[in-house]
Amino acid sequence: MVDPCNGNSSGRTLPNTIGILFADEHLVVVDKPAGIPSVPARSLNDPSSVITQLTSEWGFLEAVHRLDRDTSGLLILARNLQSRTFLGKAFESRAVHKRYLSVVHGSLPDTEGVVHLPLADDPYRPPRKRIDPILGRRAASRWRQIAQKTTVAGLLSLLELEPITGRSHQLRAHLAWLGTPIVGDRLYDNTTRTSTELKGVATRLALHAAWISFPHPANHCRIELSCQVAAIDPWTTFSAAVRDWN
């Protein structure tokens, strides 16, 4: 548990284990593993969602926001409708701040910057998004380069990412458009990479919701939470840089 007025916390969870980082009568914040949907999926063939796995222990839960199935990290779940409404408005008013860590192929044009590119659904490759200046909705993402390393897979960059807007897939789509697709992103990486190029690099999506700051729905005190990346490739390639960032 974390004092809502002094809510700094960090922890490590093993892959495929849902870690509880904060819980009270208003909300639960979890560390979602990659490969698990945030909410119940449409197909019975999909893995059991975070909501489904936790409902028996915690009762009513509703995701305040979503993480892609293949994205790991911090996810806020409301335990009642009042908290859901309050936190939903906090997201809409941008009172919630998030930082992601990601490992990408290649190098961005500068050590930090902001990309403004509108996004729309790709009708030919759902659920993919595409850059569309006419039909797309405004989307902006900020990046900051933390470290770089040359590996058998080529040059890799460790980035801190901030989604200024909250569009689905926006970090993945923006990075791919910039020519630096996220490691393991089979949906947006259009490059055919050989097994030799990918040796020592994880094939799962290297995108992790690492830090979040938001107002508590009951007392409005600001909570800050962080969670570490899993100790697997490609994160282990940047273990020292990730430790320093934390």
User: How does DSSP assign 178-243, residue by residue?
Assistant: TT-PBTT-TTT--S---HHHHTTS-SS--EEEEEEEEE-TTT--EEEEE-PPPSSTTGGGGHHHHH
Residue 122 catalytic?
A: no
Question: Distance of CA 8 to CAs 11, 139, 212, Å?
Answer: 11, 29, 10
Query: What is the maximal distance between C-alpha atoms in the chain?
Result: 53
Contact between 71 and 38 under an 8 Å Cβ cutoff? The reply is no
74 token code pair: 């911090």
User: How does DSSP assign 59-119, residue by residue?
Assistant: -S-EESS---TT-EEEEEEESSHHHHHHHHHHHHTT--EEEEEEEEES--SSSEEEEE--E
What residues pair up with 150 in beta bridges, in sequence order? 155
What residues pair up with 159 in beta bridges, in sequence order? 102, 145
Pairing of β 72-78 and β 207-215: parallel
Active-site choice (3, 24, 31, 68) = 68
Handedness of CA 202, 204, 206, 209 (dihedral sign): negative
Catalytic residues: 68
